[in-house]
């Protein structure tokens, strides 16, 4: 577990489907963003700086990661 992550702070994407292909995010006290698989809450956690997270969100909104 990463220090500073309160389990109540995890949020699941509003775009999550019922099939379990979901991610959850948590904003840490130092403003980093933690990301994990919702079906594996005890598993790996990816950490992003605010700058990296903002760049990811901007790219996702622009369709940069769309398949097909």
Q: What is the pLDDT along the chain (68 residues), one digit of tens a residue?
A: 566 676 668 888 777 766 667 889 999 988 999 999 888 888 899 999 999 999 999 999 999 999 97
pLDDT for the residue numbered 68: 75
Confidence (pTM) = 0.77
Query: What CA–CA distance (Å, rounded) separates 11 from 23?
Result: 8
Give pLDDT, residue 29: 87
Q: What pLDDT score was predicted for residue 7?
A: 63
CB atoms inside a 10 Å sphere around CB 48 = 15
Question: What pLDDT does 6 receive?
Answer: 67
């Amino acid at each position: 577990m990463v220090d500073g992550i309160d389990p109540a702070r995890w949020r699941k994407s509003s775009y999550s489907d019922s099939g379990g292909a979901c991610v959850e995010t948590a904003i840490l006290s130092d403003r980093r963003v933690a990301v994990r698989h919702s079906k594996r809450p005890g598993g790996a956690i990816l950490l992003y700086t605010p700058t990296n997270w903002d760049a990811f969100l901007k790219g996702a909104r622009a369709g940069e990661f769309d398949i097909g």
